[in-house]
Copies of this chain bind each other. A is one copy, B any other.
């Protein structure tokens, strides 16, 4: 399993992924799920992946090497717009499906992949897309500024309650880490280290790309402070007046 979350906010993008891959409980490995396609000064694009590892690695490789779209071959470092970038990821997924899909299905393995693609190309809008296994996609908006793939439910309530499009980027980093911490606690197949990326709008270069291990003091502090704050918060809520019945 996997958990990846991305927020597209007024000031920029925050993207966070775990690194655990599992093929049964006794085959647990660490693979990066965050793929960078940046050309400083011209573009910063990052893709996070969820699903069958062979499929997601093939898709990422194609996006580095070149995929045909509308009669031309592009990579994510060359594609002219973010919309075309999302189309290109969709085309890469469809290409992998055309090669591997039938054989996977013949062996009862689901063709399971989804991607979050965020970034900005010089002179264009900063955008965030979620691309599905069929190669189609949706886009985050100011109304719905975050997207999630993989094991998304445990970490969603805090985002539903606290995310706003205007929030500070590093407040959003805190929320993403809290959302991830909730997921890590509840699902063993989501695991450390984490990969965190922050992009500031109109910078055309990545502001921060950082790996957080279990010994990272800030991430440990987040988990501990958050648990303590939640316990304090529910204690502060008064008991119902029908409690005495």
User: Which A residues lie at the B interface, using CB under 8 A?
Assistant: 153-158, 160-162, 170-171, 173-175, 178, 182, 185-186, 207-208, 210, 218, 221-222, 225-227, 229-237, 239-243, 245
Contact = CB atoms under 8 A, between A and B. Distances in A.
B235 A229 contact: no
A233 B240 contact: no
A238 B131 CA distance: 34
Give the copy number. 2
Nearest to A183: B157
Contact of A234 (B154, B162, B207, B234): B162
A166 to B, nearest CB: 13
B243 A237 contact: no
A155 B156 CA distance: 10
Contacts of A171: 234-235, 239
Given A186-B157, A233-B233, A235-B171, A240 B226 contact: no
Nearest to A225: B237
A61 B82 CA distance: 58
Nearest to A156: B186
A124 to B, nearest CB: 25
B230 A233 contact: yes
A184 to B, nearest CB: 10
8 contacts: A153-B154, A157-B157, A157-B182, A161-B226, A173-B243, A225-B237, A229-B234, A229-B237
A178 B234 contact: yes
Given A154-B154, A173-B240, A208-B242, A161 B231 contact: yes
Contacts of A207: 245
Contact of A153 (B153, B158, B162, B170): B153
Nearest to A179: B157
A44 to B, nearest CB: 15
B226 A170 contact: no
Given A170-B239, A171-B234, A234-B178, A157 B160 contact: no
Given A157-B186, A158-B230, A227-B161, A237 B222 contact: yes
Contacts of A173: 239-240, 243
